Structure 1
Amino acid sequence: MRVLLVEDDLILGESLKEYLEENEIEVVWINDGRDLDQALQLNEYDVIVLDLILKFEKGENLLHYLRNKGIKTPVLIITAKNKIEDKEVCFNLGADDYLTKPFNPKELLLRIKALSKRVHVSDRYKIKNLEIDLENQIIIKDGKEVKLSKTAWNLLTLLLKRKGQIVSTETILNYVWADKAVGDEVVRQYIKELRKVLPPESIETHKGIGYRLKDEV
């Protein structure tokens, strides 16, 4: 699971990142809301944890931006604002959960896991003669199960979540391989693996940019 943490308190941000990683959750932490776009371009997230009181940009504005941009990733608000009016504003803007500071890190972990499971229940896709279940990592093709490597599954997950969009090679490398030093040739290798399973011409190559899973497939 990968979480985007937007928190400008350096001590709190570091401690939350450390705690979540100890519990096998990958965390991308930004302490400046102005870096949100870049973080979204480089990775796909299961949950976004967003503070409201930020130095350069109000968390409410960032939440509004996320939903206007069409990003459906669950957003968990963490904030010292504890008035019902503050909660009402955030839920109306599209927040999925709201946790007031101070809080027990374990409660944050439990809420993140609950939000992630809620989203994954519907991670099912149908592409022509394929039925894809991302949660259980099962592909059924013409009534028979098709096997994919773990890495190919991660790549397919990213392409499905951004279906119809060109996904840059840089984004793919960051999402699938994280900090591992691999190059474009490795990406091409796993694109080739997916093409053997998906319907013909499902994946477009945009030379020098990245790949696109056609929206109409």
Structure 2
Amino acid sequence: MENLILDIEIDENAKESLLKKALKSELSVKEYIEKLVVLDINSTIDLENDYTYNYNLNKLYDNFNKEVSLTKIENALLELLLKNKGKIVKIETIAEVIWKDKEMTRFTLRNKIKSIRDKSFYELIVNHSNIGYCIN
């Protein structure tokens, strides 16, 4: 692994806060910052058409790095599909996880999928007829 050396300037308050957090985590400041950077990098997934999804922020960003406005259900559905990237998520699983005890019709699910596609791009979510959906 190649080292990357950074020189950053932060004010006194931020410096004190950083030192306290590193101490609390029982890490050196260097180790703490390395951990933050790795967490940030690993929290973002690259999608097709230059779209990205940030797990820490639970937000989808378009190819101009602008946030795509999703409803709570759309975001939860997208996150479920992304956590199972490359696998088909069954319709029954989607109903259990996203709608919980509420009734979900296939029509409602199709509308949510269409809405996400309209706000992003069609190929993002792949339909597997009468089985479920996935993101490749």
TM over 0.5: yes
Tell which structure's C-alpha radius of gyration is larger. Answer: 2
1:125 aligns with 2:41: no
Deviation, structure 1 residue 154: 0.5
Consecutive unaligned residues of structure 2, counting only runs of 5 or more, are 1-38
**Cα RMSD for the two superposed structures:** 2.0
User: When the two structures are superposed, what TM-score results if normalisation uses the length of structure 1?
Assistant: 0.41
Which runs of structure 2 are paired with 1:52-131 in the superposition (5 Å)?
122-128=42-48, 129-131=50-52
Paired residues of 1:155 and 1:172 also in contact (CA < 8 A): yes
Consecutive unaligned residues of structure 1, counting only runs of 5 or more, are 1-118
Which runs of structure 2 are paired with 1:127-206 in the superposition (5 Å)?
127-128=47-48, 129-141=50-62, 142-206=64-128
Aligned equivalents of 1:126, 1:195: Cα separation in 2: 16
Q: Kindly, what percent of the aligned residue pairs are identical?
A: 32
* 1:3-55 C-alpha deviation (Å, 9 max, x unpaired): xxxxxxxxxxxxxxxxxxxxxxxxxxxxxxxxxxxxxxxxxxxxxxxxxxxxx
User: When the two structures are superposed, what TM-score results if normalisation uses the length of structure 2?
Assistant: 0.63
For CA contacts below 8 A with separation 6 or more, give which structure has more relative contact order: 2
Paired residues of 1:163 and 1:212 also in contact (CA < 8 A): yes
> Amino acid of the residue matched to residue 59 of structure 2?
I
How many residue pairs get aligned? The number is 96
Task: Report which of the two has the higher share of strand.
Answer: 1
Partner of 1:7: none
Task: Report which of the two has the higher share of helix.
Answer: 2
Paired residues of 1:131 and 1:139 also in contact (CA < 8 A): yes
Aligned equivalents of 2:43, 2:65: Cα separation in 1: 19
Aligned equivalents of 1:173, 1:160: Cα separation in 2: 16
